[in-house]
Structure 1
Amino acid sequence: MNRTAGEAANLQLVLDMFAHVLNPMDSSAVDRFIAPGYIQHNQAAEPGREGLKKFLDMIREATPEAVHDVKRAFVDGDHVTVHYHVRRWPDDLGWAVMDIFRIEDGMIAEHWDVMQDVIEGGPNPASPF
C-alpha cells in the first residue's frame, strides 16, 4: 500500500514530535507540533496543550532518564499510530504503549493512548514488541 504525500507528512510530524518533545520531554517544543485546540483523551493528564506541557514537566522532573523507544508506526489518512516502549529509568521493564494521533492542518489535534506493564515470567513468552 502506498502512502499519500499527506500521510507521509502526518507520519513524519508524529515521529518528529517524538524526537523533539517526548524523548527529551521538552515542553518548550510542544507548540511546534500540537494544535492550540488539542484534545487529550489520557485521563491522567490535564486537557489541552498547556496540560501536556505540565505533564511533560512533571515527568521530566520525576524520571529524567525516561526513554520512548519507538518500535513501529502506522499511518492511515489523518491518523498515526505509534507502538513504543517506555522505560522510566535504565533498569525499568517499563510499559508497552500505543498512541493514536489525529492530525489536522499539519498539527497534532487529538490523542488517545493505551498502556500495559511489561512483565517477566508471565504465561506468554512472546514480547509485547
Structure 2
Amino acid sequence: MSRTAAEEANLKLVLDMFAEVLNPMDSSAAERFISPDYIQHNQAVEPGLAPFKAFLDMIREQTPEAVHDVKRAFVDGDHVTVHYHVRRWPDDLGWAVMDIFRIENGMVAEHWDVMQDVVEGGPNPLSPF
C-alpha cells in the first residue's frame, strides 16, 4: 500500500523531530515540530509545549547520554506511531516505547505513549524489538 503525500510529510515530521529534538534532547528545537497547544496524554507531563520543553530539559540534565533508538515507524493518515528503545545511559537496558502522534496543520498536535521495562532473564526469550 502506498502512502499519500500528506502521510509522507507526517512521517517525516515525526522522524525529524526524533532526530532534532528527542535524541539530542534539544528543547529549543521543539517549537519547529510541536504545536503551542500540544495535547499531552503522558501522565508524567502536563499538557502544552512549555511543560514538554521543561520535561525535556530535566531529562537532559539527569541523563545527558540518553538515546531514542527508533526501530520502526508507521503512518496512517494524521497519526504516526513510533516503536523505539530508550536507554538513559550506555549500559541501561532501558524501555521499549510506543508513541502515537496526531499531526494537524504540519505540527504534532497530540501525543500518547506506552512504555515497558526491557528485562534480562524473563520467561520470553524474544526481544521487545
Counterparts of 1:59 and 1:18 in 2: how far apart (Å)?
15
2:56 counterpart residue number: 56
Alignment length (residue pairs): 129
1:123 counterpart residue number: 123
Q: Which amino acid aligns with 1:5?
A: A
Superposed displacement of residue 47, structure 1:
1.3
1:96 counterpart residue number: 96
Runs (4 or more) in structure 1 with deviation over 3 Å come to: none
Q: How does 1:22-101 map to 2 (within 5 A)?
A: 22-101=22-101
Q: Which amino acid aligns with 2:23?
A: N
Q: Can you list the C-alpha shifts for 1:45-90, whole angstroms capped at 9, x where unaligned? A: 1210001000000000000000000000000000000000000000
Q: Can you list the C-alpha shifts for 1:85-114, whole angstroms capped at 9, x where unaligned? A: 000000000000000000000000000000
1:10 counterpart residue number: 10
3-state SS in 1 of match to 2:8: helix
Superposed displacement of residue 29, structure 1:
0.4
Gaps of 5+ in 2: none
Counterparts of 1:52 and 1:79 in 2: how far apart (Å)?
19
Q: Which amino acid aligns with 1:2?
A: S
TM-score normalised to the size of structure 2? 0.99
Identity %: 84
Counterparts of 1:97 and 1:31 in 2: how far apart (Å)?
23
Counterparts of 1:48 and 1:30 in 2: how far apart (Å)?
11
TM-score normalised to the size of structure 1? 0.99
2:110 counterpart residue number: 110
Cα RMSD after superposing both structures: 0.3
Gaps of 5+ in 1: none
